[in-house]
Amino acid sequence: MNRALLLKAAGLVTAIAVCAVLVPGCGAPGRNGQNWPADHAGPKVVVSFAPLYCFAASVAGDDAVVKNVMTSKGPHDFDPTADDIALVSQADLFFVVGLGLDEKKAEVMRSGSGNKNMKIIELGEKLDKKDLCEGFCTHADHGADHKHDTDPHVWLSPTHAAKLVGFIRDELKAKDPAHAAGYESRAAAYIEKLNAVKAYGVEKFKDKQDKKLVSFHDSLAYFEECFQLNVRGVLTKKPGQEPSDKEMKELIRICIRKTSPVRVILTEPQYSTSSSGETLRKDLVASGVEDPVLVEFDPLETVRPDELALDWYEKKMRDNIDRLAEKMK
């Protein structure tokens, strides 16, 4: 464990200790009043963020209880609270994506909670290596010691999502074999829905002549692959951090090529105050690119707690597809 992580873990343990002293009975209720039902004997399952909630809860049905941890702050920004750790303290399984995205935060919560029996399952790590993409980098990044990281945003491809659902199904069957048939049939039904989302997108994009775009953060590789789009660059290397002048110049250079201009620029609702997309759009107008547009794309990393439902992932994916298809030519 590195030093920063140790400090963070120590802080959380302190938070729990303080909480236990100040609040009698603290440790039972979870985040936002989330509790584990006392009268349910099935597996207690925690997931890191919203898409995994839709996947796991759809497979769990009434046989297991699923709780989602991250809401307004997604896996790039989230820091667990004492409430989150209280929730995790009684869980049996913790599904995360892994691939460098959220597994360390799950480890911090497990060590903070002292729940040695809980299994953390890194779903993305179970994917075949050939199904994984490297993180985006521009040519200027390539140095002697340059190494590509794996892009963790696998949930943005319905094809990959279906595989994650299969891994969740297998873990639930292993944990609770008495209800294996239920997990099996619900997973099959949900995978059908994911296949329908993919078919919806394929149909929407199939007649587009120009599928080039600039994404907001480096999250689109699997969505791009699934729907045969063409991501030419990213606005921000780190979500929340505006591009430097040098990076912006490089993006403009990529976007104004006479033979293959890029006119679609993605923004994200989570970073609505960022002005880099609009700055780029104006620069493209000034450079003679025809009709550059901003399109909001939600990478599904955050959720409003009152909106989280079994069909949230499908709805949000269709919304993304609709907005993008409307503006693409």
Q: Which single residue brings its beta carbon nearest to Zn ion?
A: 219
Judged by CB, which is closer to Zn ion: 77, or 311? Answer: 77
Judged by CB, which is closer to Zn ion: 53, or 190? Answer: 53
CB of 268 to Zn ion, least distance (A): 9
CB of 160 to Zn ion, least distance (A): 14
Judged by CB, which is closer to Zn ion: 183, or 227? Answer: 227
Cα(305)–Cα(83) distance, rounded to whole angstroms? 15
Task: Give every strand in the sheet of 119-122, ordered side by side.
Answer: 65-68, 44-47, 93-96, 119-122
User: What token pair was written down for 173?
Assistant: 């069957």
Task: Verify binding: residue 113, Zn ion, rule CB under 5 A.
Answer: no
Sequence-distant (6+) residues with CB within 8 A of 232 are: 212, 213, 214, 254, 255, 262
CB of 320 to Zn ion, least distance (A): 14
**The one segment of 139-147, 217-225, 280-288, 318-326 that binds Zn ion by CB under 5 A:** 217-225
DSSP 17-71: HHHHHHSTTTTSS-GGG----TT--SPEEEESSHHHHHHHHHHHTTTSEEEE--S
Cα(119)–Cα(26) distance, rounded to whole angstroms? 23
Task: Verify binding: residue 302, Zn ion, rule CB under 5 A.
Answer: no
Judged by CB, which is closer to Zn ion: 89, or 215? Answer: 215
Judged by CB, which is closer to Zn ion: 183, or 312? Answer: 312
Number of shown-chain residues binding Zn ion (CB under 5 A): 1
- C-alpha distances in Å from residue 38, one per residue of 66, 70, 116: 14, 23, 21
Q: In this structure, are residues 85 and 112 in contact, taking their beta carbons and an 8 Å threshold? A: yes
**The one segment of 57-65, 166-174, 212-220, 269-277 that binds Zn ion by CB under 5 A:** 212-220
Residue span 168-207 as binding mask against Zn ion, x where in contact by CB under 5 A, dash where not: ----------------------------------------
CB of 97 to Zn ion, least distance (A): 10
Judged by CB, which is closer to Zn ion: 73, or 249? Answer: 73
Three-state secondary structure call for residue 242: coil
Q: In this structure, are residues 205 and 328 in contact, taking their beta carbons and an 8 Å threshold? A: yes
**The one segment of 198-206, 218-226, 272-280, 315-323 that binds Zn ion by CB under 5 A:** 218-226
**The one segment of 29-37, 104-112, 133-141, 211-219 that binds Zn ion by CB under 5 A:** 211-219
Judged by CB, which is closer to Zn ion: 182, or 239? Answer: 239
CB of 161 to Zn ion, least distance (A): 15
Judged by CB, which is closer to Zn ion: 59, or 97? Answer: 97
Three-state secondary structure call for residue 128: coil
Task: Verify binding: residue 219, Zn ion, rule CB under 5 A.
Answer: yes
**The one segment of 20-28, 29-37, 216-224, 317-325 that binds Zn ion by CB under 5 A:** 216-224
Question: Is residue 234 within a helix (H) or strand (E), and if so which, with residue range?
Answer: strand 230-236
Cα(156)–Cα(314) distance, rounded to whole angstroms? 11
- Of 35, 45, 31, the C-alpha closest to 121 is 45
Binding residues for Zn ion (CB under 5 A)? 219
